[in-house]
Amino acid sequence: MDIKVLKEITKLMNDNDLIEVEVESKGLKLKLRKAGPVAPTVMHAVAAPAPAAAASTLAATAAATKSAEEANWKPITSPIPGTVYLKPNPDAANFVSEGLAVDPAKVVCLIEAMKVFNEIKPDVGINGQIKRICVKDGQPVEYGTVLFLVG
């Protein structure tokens, strides 16, 4: 049981607005929870009808898929609310697939907002392989939604 793991997870929580983390792997069981009101994702589930629940699910997916081992993967996030498209057109193949190497010059997906298809590229400094695709084709996203994890 290494404290570095806890630190990394906490950073993870801060970076991703997680309010609770539970990890269980051979012989190790771990749970962290944050103070204050529950995250909007939970909030909505509690307080609001379908649309909110939907909006929240996004954040939830992003959150749920995190774990200590991925602590140093870098996220590619959405700069704007909109609809994400993983392929240039319905018949084409995805821009990227897991394992593919990407750099700030590479278009990884499109986000449609106000009828405009915005080409999304990794931020400067993000070079590496696509470790995980965190969104589905056609899924609505908000600012900050994690689209891909690069490592």
Partner 1 sequence: MFKRILIANRGEIAVRIIKSCKRLGIETCVVFSTADRESLAVRLADVAICIGPGPAKGSYLNINNIIAAAELADVDAIHPGFGFLSENSHFAQVVRDCQIEFIGPLSESMEALGNKAKAKALATKAGVPCVPGSVGSVKDQDEAIKIARQIGYPVLIKAVAGGGGRGMREAHNDASLVSGLISAQREAEAAFGNGDCIIEAFVQRARHIEIQIIGDKHGNVISLGERDCSTQRRHQKLVEESPSPVITPDIRKAMSADAVKLSKAAGYYNAGTVEFIYDLDRKSYYFLEMNTRIQVEHPVTEMVNDIDLIALMIKVAAGEALPFKQEDIKPKGHAIEVRVNAEDWQNNFSPCPGKISMYVAPSGKGIRVDSHCYAGYNIPPHYDSMIAKLIVHGTDRADALRILEQALSEYVLDGVKTTIGFHQRLIRDPRFVNNEVTTKWVDDVFMKS
Strands ordered across the beta sheet of 109-113: 116-120, 109-113, 82-85, 140-141
Binding window for its own copies (CB under 8 A); candidates: 28-36, 37-45, 87-95, 143-151: 28-36
Q: In whole angstroms, how close is the CB of 144 to its own copies at the nearest point? A: 19
Distance, in Å, from the CA atom of 19 to the CA atom of 131, rounded to the nearest integer, reads: 24
Instruction: Judge whether 132 and 98 are in contact, CB under 8 Å.
Output: yes
Geometric angle at alpha carbon 119, from 114 and 122, rounded to 5°: 130
Binding of residue 37 to partner 1 (CB under 8 A): yes
- Kindly tell me which residue out of 70, 113, 121, 139 binds partner 1, with binding defined by CB under 8 A: 113
Q: Report if residue 27 touches its own copies, rule: CB under 8 A.
A: yes
Q: Which does 76 bind (CB under 5 to 8 A by kind): its own copies, partner 1, none?
A: none
Instruction: Dig out the tokens for 105 from the structure.
Output: 């010059």
Region 52-91 residues binding partner 1, contact defined as CB under 8 A: 52, 54-56, 59, 80-83
Q: Which helix (H) or strand (E) holds 132?
A: strand 128-133
63 versus 102: smaller Cβ distance to its own copies: 63
Among 3, 4, 31, 49, binds partner 1 (CB under 8 A): 49
